């Protein structure tokens, strides 16, 4: 369980969040694992025959052929976290495989390992990271033929995950999703009870949520209460309008279009127009984070990733909380956030590509995914039974986990290799606007100019 918490804490950090005290020394993160496709026996000639339902049988995974698989990630997870989620399961399924994990630390970053001629068979990271890691190191490998040969059924996955990964690879399958994450809205029941405000519900619009926020934003016993807050890295990255940071055709920043203007106005500028809210943010000299939700308990509603409670169980245990689905835009009813999957990629330098795709295929098997879903790790397959099991064997089994799956997924925007570099620039805009340092148009224009300069410098340096 400690390893699971440590790994999940990296999930929050990989998407702009903070991490638990137990794991502060470890950098970055990605999403946990989940699973996808069952395995069936192959015919004597290893062909794919149709079963009675008309679907092709999946070739049987051979587990008696020795192979070494080396895993690496940018997340810095310790080996026990890797083993808890990946290594132990793979060793049990494939006893002849040698599963090796190289933790990222000084001397063992991806560029350093490659300079040492270290083979890496499987690279894993959250989707915003994986494409930059692969492409910057020229490790990308189109897994399409491997997927077909292994019989991985892409139709079993949540469609937007496969579509998004394929789009980010310009039509090529450079990775497969293994776990998932969406944005939901957590709320402090104690504040709602204290102020006599009805709890939020699944299916609310943003207009309704902001009406509730205004009722909760007030001074109480000398403390400034904030009705609503969110993390820009989460709510903007997975935005419900599927707006990418960069134009897919030109790599030019899109920050000055009306979509970003309307989203930042809604999520940050409008709540921050309240003088009490603005004063609190000014005192923090930063945007409110989940710490203001759990520790000081001054936030009524907080939008964050679906892994949040499992990432910091002790911290969220301080709050009488529950969750509802992400509020929706009136013009996009029932459309929630885009997903942020955690993905694994067979690398171009792998010497055991077939063993690698078998390992990933097992990690996305239905049985394995069901196990993770029960523990509160969001699945990537579109299976109602697996979804209904979500969180049922966790410490928070009585919470409203239907919220996680209530909305439809917004399509994933294309993740550019420059995604994270420009994201950090866009994320400075909400605070500047909220504190009145810049008007919204100026802040977005300057952010676009800074992002374009950054991309030019990166391209020049390659």
Residue 54 CB contacts under 8 Å (≥ 6 apart), including other chains = none
Q: Which helix (H) or strand (E) holds 447?
A: helix 440-461
Architecture of domain 67-181+339-410: 3-Layer(aba) Sandwich (3.40)
pLDDT value for 1: 52
- Class of the CATH domain delimited by 183-338+417-461: alpha beta
Q: DSSP secondary structure string, 198-255?
A: PPP-TT-BHHHHHHHHHHH-EEETTEEEEEEEE-HHHHTTT-TT---SB-TTT--B-T
The domain limits of the chain are: 67-181+339-410, 183-338+417-461
Q: Which residues pair with 183 in a beta bridge?
A: 305
Place of tokens 């956030």: 337
- Which tokens is 152 given? 């991985």
The answer to whether 371 and 208 have CB atoms below 8 angstroms apart is no
Q: Which helix (H) or strand (E) holds 445?
A: helix 440-461
Q: DSSP secondary structure string, 8-62?
A: HHHHHHHTT----GGGTTS--------------PPPTT----B-TTSPBPPPPPP
CA distance 248 to 268: 26
Phi, psi of 392 (to 5 degrees): -75, -20
The answer to whether 189 and 299 have CB atoms below 8 angstroms apart is no
Asked, colleague to colleague, whether 67-181+339-410 and 183-338+417-461 share their fold, the answer is yes
- Which tokens is 270 given? 């409008």
The answer to whether 439 and 250 have CB atoms below 8 angstroms apart is no
Q: Which helix (H) or strand (E) holds 261?
A: helix 258-264
Per-residue pLDDT of the chain (462 residues; tens, 9 = 90+): 555 555 455 544 444 443 333 333 333 333 333 333 332 233 333 333 333 333 344 445 455 689 999 999 998 889 998 988 889 989 999 999 999 999 999 999 999 999 999 999 999 999 999 999 999 999 999 999 999 999 999 999 999 999 999 999 999 999 999 999 999 999 999 999 999 999 999 999 999 999 999 999 999 999 999 999 999 999 999 999 999 999 999 999 999 999 999 999 999 999 999 999 999 999 999 999 999 999 999 999 999 999 999 989 999 999 999 999 999 999 999 999 999 999 999 999 999 999 999 999 999 999 999 988 999 999 999 999 999 999 999 999 999 999 999 999 999 999 988 998 899 999 999 999 999 999 999 999 999 999 999 999 998 876
Query: Residue 368 in 3-state DSSP?
Result: helix
**In which region does residue 30 sit, left (phi positive, over 0), alpha (psi from -120 to 50) or beta (all else)?**
beta
Angle between helix axes 419-426 and 127-136 (nearest 10 degrees) is 130
């Amino acid at each position: 369980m400690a390893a699971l918490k440590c790994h999940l804490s990296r999930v929050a950090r990989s998407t702009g969040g903070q991490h638990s005290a137990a794991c502060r020394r470890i950098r970055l993160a990605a999403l946990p694992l989940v699973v996808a496709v069952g395995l069936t026996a192959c015919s004597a000639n290893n062909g794919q025959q149709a079963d009675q339902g008309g679907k092709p049988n999946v070739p049987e995974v051979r587990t008696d052929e020795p192979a070494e698989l080396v895993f690496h990630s940018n997340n810095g997870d310790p080996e026990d976290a890797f083993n808890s989620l990946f290594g132990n399961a793979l060793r049990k399924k494939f006893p002849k495989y040698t599963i090796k994990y190289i933790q990222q630390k000084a001397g063992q970053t991806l560029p350093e390992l490659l300079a040492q001629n270290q083979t890496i068979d499987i690279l894993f990271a959250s989707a915003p990271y994986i494409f930059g890691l692969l492409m910057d190191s020229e490790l990308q490998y189109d897994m399409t033929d491997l997927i077909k040969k292994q019989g991985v059924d892409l139709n079993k996955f949540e469609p937007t995950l496969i579509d998004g990964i394929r789009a980010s690879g310009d039509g090529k399958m450079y990775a497969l999703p293994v776990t998932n994450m969406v944005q939901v809205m957590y709320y402090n029941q104690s504040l709602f009870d204290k102020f006599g405000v009805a709890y939020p519900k699944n299916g609310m619009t943003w207009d309704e949520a902001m009406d509730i926020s205004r009722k909760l934003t007030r001074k109480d016993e000398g403390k400034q209460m904030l009705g609503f807050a969110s993390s820009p890295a989460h709510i903007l990255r997975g935005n419900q309008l599927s707006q990418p940071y960069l134009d897919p055709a030109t790599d030019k920043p899109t920050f000055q279009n009306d979509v970003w203007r309307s989203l930042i106005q809604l999520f940050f500028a409008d709540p921050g127009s309240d003088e009490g809210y603005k004063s609190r943010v000014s005192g923090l000299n930063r945007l409110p984070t989940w710490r203001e939700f759990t520790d000081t308990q001054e936030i009524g509603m907080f939008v964050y990733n679906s892994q949040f409670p499992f990432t910091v169980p002790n911290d969220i245990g301080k709050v009488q909380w529950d969750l509802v689905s992400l509020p929706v835009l009136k013009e996009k009813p029932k459309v929630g956030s885009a997903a942020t999957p955690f993905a694994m990629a067979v690398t171009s330098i792998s010497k055991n590509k077939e063993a690698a795709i078998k390992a990933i295929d097992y990690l996305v098997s239905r049985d394995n995914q069901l196990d993770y879903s029960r523990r509160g790790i969001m699945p990537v397959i579109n299976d109602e039974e697996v979804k209904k099991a979500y969180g049922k064997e966790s410490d928070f089994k009585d919470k409203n986990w239907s919220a996680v799956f209530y909305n439809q997924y917004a399509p994933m925007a294309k993740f550019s290799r420059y995604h994270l570099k420009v994201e950090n620039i866009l994320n400075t805009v909400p605070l500047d606007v909220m504190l009145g340092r810049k008007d919204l148009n100026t802040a977005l224009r300057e952010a676009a100019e800074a992002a374009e300069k950054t991309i030019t410098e990166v391209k020049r340096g390659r």
